Amino acid sequence: MGDTEYPINLTEQEREKLESIISYGRHSAQKITRARILLKADDGESDSAIAEALDCSRSTAWRTRKKFHERDRIEAIERKNPDRNYETKLDGREEASLIHLARSEPPEGRSRWSLRVLAEKFENLDETDVESISHETVRQTLKKTNSNLINPNNG
């Protein structure tokens, strides 16, 4: 874990952004630590010195330097890769069908829809091309549209 393998050279704007993250205090401790690591690395401190000063491991300092070079520089302090995009399971027409189904009368023997029963019934609809849908997708869709299963007349 060489310190010179990933040298840090911050621009003035990057330095100001990191300093504001540290001073504002409305960020996670992990994000603040990473910001401090980058500032100390820009000052020329070694990973060992940074780890000792910030009470973190050398590998944390090294990984933060590495992420700074691999990602879009300042994004190194973020927890996850921002490029994690998932394909949506339902299009607008299918979401509307799901909401319409959720607002309809629940199956016989039930006082209301459950997410799993709703997912199962939705898969069996002829008007949709969805082969399978999880209860979590149903939950997220209903949440996104402010619909709920407690009172079908709401949302």
Domain shared by 21 and 56, yes or no: yes
In a domain, 83, yes or no: no
Are 40 and 96 in a shared domain? no
Residue-level pLDDT, tens digit, the chain, 155 residues: 556 688 899 999 999 999 999 998 788 899 899 999 999 999 999 999 999 999 999 999 999 999 888 877 877 777 766 566 777 888 888 999 999 999 999 989 988 899 999 999 998 888 777 888 999 999 998 998 888 776 555 45
Residue 82 CB neighbour total at 10 angstroms: 10
Domain span including residue 52 = 12-77
Count the domains in the chain: 2
Q: How far apart are CA 134 and CA 110, in angstroms?
A: 20
Amino acid in position 86: Y
Structure tokens at 132: 């399978």
Confirm whether pTM is higher than 0.85: no
